[in-house]
Amino acid sequence: MKIQARIFKGARDFFPEQMLHRERILQVMRTTFKKYGFAPLETPAIEYLDVLTGKYGEDADRLIYKLNYKVGQKDEAALHYDLTVPFSRAVAMQTDLPLPFKRYQMQPVWRADRPQPHQGRFREFYQCDADCVGSESMIIDAEMIAITYEILSQLNIPDFVIKINNRKILNGITQYIGLDNSHVSEVCNAIDKLDKVEWNEVEKDLIDKYIAATSIEKLHQLLIKDLSLDLLKTELNSIEIAQQGIAELQELFSYLAIFNIPETHYKFDISLARGLDYYTGPIFETKLPKHPHMGSLNGGGRYNGLIASFGGKDIPAVGTSLGLDRIFTAMQQLNLLDDVKTSTKVLVGNFGEVTLAASLKLVTDLRANNINTEFYPDADKLKKQFGYCDKKKIPFMCIIGEEEMIANVITLKNLQNSEQTKLSLTDLIVRLK
């Protein structure tokens, strides 16, 4: 009985033409993370379920992939939903870690979401995180934004904007409109939505959530003013928590200026809320304003209480997370990826038994010189061997037929310009290096 070949919804296979690009993107990230002093770290794909739940918020908790193993028992397992929570769990377990500690981590994560590939949304995807634990300094928050900016710039992503806000400001606004902290998420949600829909829609939502009319009106009056950070500071002068949040962002922005991050690529955005519960301070998210359908390329922020929630020391933390799959999808849609199918530089043709040993010796010599070399395994017609070379966009082909073997030379053909020459092995190696 044959089983239909099919792939899990929201998961993907990556063939070389995609993987070569994905590896390059990861390499840019890795290099940049190291440049800023982050060291590599990995945690398991699998965690105990109770380590993950209650950190992200109700909606997100439902999207955690639970593993069907000892359901309901204390050691019920799940696939990790992000890298921040497992990292925090690991830090909480490592009592003698010298602080501040900076790590980067690039691994797949899983979410039981409805996939929307066009928007770069999948069930299995790579997160590439840099986090620092053990410092409250806004310098670190600024570094997170700087590193995000540097990576996206190096990948030549045009016109991205890092939106920045502060949870303390959102808490302050909630107080300002006369609600207690239990309503922060409703308020955030409403503000966040305002990006996409009209006020009356947002108002309707808030009414549905039993928010008092006076609070809704006060929120409307505040948002309609579209205040700059400075003016917001005056408006919210009686709210202590908001004052703190604004001061933090002003400090953060002063560091971004010193780090030479162009102002075109970041901005204060009061409508940025972020859904995950664990954020406590500055938050940020990267969007492509010219491609609003595409989900955010990056998200991050400060999460000072998370590590303490695992017991033990209360260690402050901040991090940035770049979405490999979002970035890759955006680059595909923006036509930023060349048509690469292989990393092979030269194909050595196969002329059959008489010349086989000479051809294989050539293959060995080329590889010994670090030239990426592929040997065509069957003595097919040359037409077919050239066709293979062409289809895989291998730039060069070498031939040792009987003529070449007698003359002790190698024919080298450049597939791009069709030039063909006979060379000695030494000259060939020089040419291909």
Partner RNA sequence: GACAUGUUAGCUCAGUUGGUUAGAGCAUCGGUUUGUGGUACCGAGGGUCAUGGGUUCGAGCCCCAUACGUGUCCCCA
Residues forming the site for RNA (CB under 7 A)? 9, 59-60, 82, 111, 113-123, 125, 127, 189, 192-193, 196-197, 273-276, 285-286, 293, 295-299, 321-323, 325-326, 381-384, 386-387, 389-391, 399, 401-404, 411, 413, 415-418, 420
For residue 147, the minimal CB distance to RNA (Å) is 14
For residue 385, the minimal CB distance to RNA (Å) is 8
3-state secondary structure the chain: CCCCCCCCCCCCCCCHHHHHHHHHHHHHHHHHHHHCCCEECCCCCEEEHHHHCCCCCHHHHCCCCECCCCCCCCCCEEECCCCHHHHHHHHHHCCCCCCCEEEEEEEEEECCCCCEHHHCECCEEEEEEEEEECCCCHHHHHHHHHHHHHHHHHCCCCCCEEEEEEHHHHHHHHHHCCCCHHHHHHHHHHHHHCCCCCHHHHHHHHHHCCCCHHHHHHHHHHHHCCCCHHHHHHHCCCCHHHHHHHHHHHHHHHHHHHCCCCHHHEEECCCCCCCCCCCCCEEEEEECCCCCCCCCCEEEEECCCCCHHHCCCCCCEEEEEEEHHHHHHHHHHCCCCCCCCCCCCEEECCCCHHHHHHHHHHHHHHHHCCCCEEECCCCCCHHHHHHHHHHCCCCEEEECCHHHHHHCCEEEEECCCCCEEEECHHHHHHHHC
With CA atoms as reference, report the closest residue to 206 among 195, 221, 196, 191: 191
| Cα distance from N-terminal residue to C-terminal residue, the chain | 51
Neighbours of 132 (CB within 10 A): 25
Measured between alpha carbons, how far is 61 from 57 in angstroms, rounded to an integer?
A: 6
For residue 327, the minimal CB distance to RNA (Å) is 7
The encoded tokens of residue 116 equal: 């929307």
Cβ-based nearer residue to RNA, 32 or 321: 321
Cβ-based nearer residue to RNA, 87 or 122: 122
Cβ-based nearer residue to RNA, 36 or 386: 386
For residue 114, the minimal CB distance to RNA (Å) is 4
Instruction: Identify the bridge partners of residue 78 per DSSP, sorted by sequence position.
Output: 47, 66
Cβ-based nearer residue to RNA, 281 or 299: 299
Cβ-based nearer residue to RNA, 143 or 233: 143
Cβ-based nearer residue to RNA, 102 or 287: 287
Cβ-based nearer residue to RNA, 53 or 411: 411
Cβ-based nearer residue to RNA, 176 or 351: 351
The encoded tokens of residue 205 equal: 């939502």
Q: Treating both helix axes as pointing N-terminal to C-terminal, what angle do 167-176 and 184-193 enclose, rounded to 10 degrees?
A: 100
For residue 74, the minimal CB distance to RNA (Å) is 27
For residue 7, the minimal CB distance to RNA (Å) is 9
For residue 118, the minimal CB distance to RNA (Å) is 4
For residue 382, the minimal CB distance to RNA (Å) is 4
Cβ-based nearer residue to RNA, 151 or 239: 151
Cβ-based nearer residue to RNA, 2 or 74: 2
Q: What is the CA radius of gyration of the chain?
A: 28
Cβ-based nearer residue to RNA, 180 or 419: 419
Cβ-based nearer residue to RNA, 185 or 239: 185
With CA atoms as reference, report the closest residue to 61 among 69, 52, 70: 52
